[in-house]
Amino acid sequence: MDRIRIRGGNELNGTIPISGAKNAALPLMIASLLTDDTLTLENVPHLADVEQLIRILGNHGVDYSVIGKRFRQQPGLGRTIHFDARNIVDTTAPYELVSKMRASFWVIGPLLARMHKAKVSLPGGCAIGTRPVDLFIDGLRALGATIDIDAGYAVAEAKGGLVGARYVFPKVSVGATHVLMMAATLAKGQTVLENAAREPEVVDLATCLSAMGARIEGAGTGTITIEGVPALSGARHRVLPDRIETGTYAMAVAMTGGDVTLTGTNAQLLQTALGSLKGAGVTVDPVEDGIRVYRNGGGIAPVDVVTDPYPGFPTDLQAQMMALMTRAEGTSHITETIFENRFMHVQELVRLGARITLSGQVATIEGVNRLVGAPVMATDLRASVSLVIAGLVAEGETTINRVYHLDRGFERLEEKLGACGADIERVSAG
């Protein structure tokens, strides 16, 4: 199993290209199931989750072809992938595929909408909380589907097709918003989704679906209205920049000092997180085609953060922010409101010398003058990169094990950081 080895102490200087967003690419790929025409997606990142979803879609009969950069070539220029789902050969998503990635459960919406049936294994993914699929199932039932749970599978049917309805999400859910919005595009009549997620990735999916012929209004607000259409066509769509990757590298620069321009991204995608960085004493300036981040000479000021649905502080940047606060000149607090089990990185940061105490969903971080390298273990996708950020300033050598978590969501991380001066390398098993 591969490991990442870091020798801390180097500033970051240079340019880092930001990849297409994983959290946008996955629902966009799944949307290909809604049409028998070709859906072409540009700027698709090369990630383990993307490759896994390609295998899952292939199991349903989706053909694909890739144009553009291959792995380890032309950093920052995402691939273009054509998806052709004209022949759906199987409406079952088996456990051995779905268990490896939670988002693969989302195929249930498009399959129900287009094929009027689906049998999908209950999902797996990062162990950061229960994240039940109740919202998905309740919402699809509101659109007229009958769904039973049988031997670990959601067995769904919509004889005659889905029917538009009003559905109020009992809590904000990005995944459930994706699924119900896709399903409603082919439902008969009007669907109104209230308390919907407002994330940029939801807007990106709505933009793509609209290019395919869907009639959607209100994406990016709490109320989304969809007028069902008989069929969707193909389209060409560019995946938006990854705001989580953007924030992650901005925090890495804040941690190490230096001056880095993040290209191919947009500050508007993560204003709250960038505001927290400014509060920590980091300079963040929008520039043409990106963001310039630098901290030259000044220390890191403590800031308090509460995770919240968009436009609040993203839960997917919580671990990275905690790593940054381990070196703050004072005490900071991070409150996690989205997932009940997303502090597993705390004990690994403590191994590097961090001072962190937990009380329920609140982490109190007392900044320290130095971190010291040690072997640590990634516990989930975002936690793994928080250890990278800490390792960049830790004295000596830090070895991060189980980096397959990193490969799920960060494209060529060690190459991008290495190009800006980090002493970082991937060590292959054996």
Q: Which residues are catalytic?
A: 126
69 known member of a binding site: no
Structure tokens at 13: 């200087």
Q: In whole angstroms, what is the distance from residue 189 CA to residue 312 CA?
A: 33
Q: In whole angstroms, what is the distance from residue 213 CA to residue 149 CA?
A: 33
The answer, yes or no, to whether the previous bond of 302 is cis (omega within 30 of 0) is: no
174 known member of a binding site: yes
Structure tokens at 77: 């220029």
133 known member of a binding site: yes
132 known member of a binding site: yes
102 known member of a binding site: yes
Torsion of CA 286, 197, 410, 85, to 10 degrees: -120
Q: In whole angstroms, what is the distance from residue 37 CA to residue 89 CA?
A: 15
Compute φ and ψ for 56, nearest 5 degrees: -65, -45
Query: Could you identify the residue written with the tokens 């989304």?
Result: 224
2 CB-near residues (< 8 Å, 6+ apart): 403, 404, 426, 427, 428, 429
172 known member of a binding site: yes
23 known member of a binding site: yes
125 CB-near residues (< 8 Å, 6+ apart): 100, 101, 102, 103, 131
350 known member of a binding site: no
Instruction: Break the chain down into helix, strand, coil percent, rounded to 5.
Output: 35, 30, 40
193 known member of a binding site: no
- Residue ranges of the binding site for UDP-N-acetyl-alpha-D-glucosamine: 102, 131-135, 171-174, 316, 338
- Residue ranges of the binding site for phosphoenolpyruvate: 22-23
- Residue ranges of the binding site: 22-23, 102, 131-135, 171-174, 316, 338
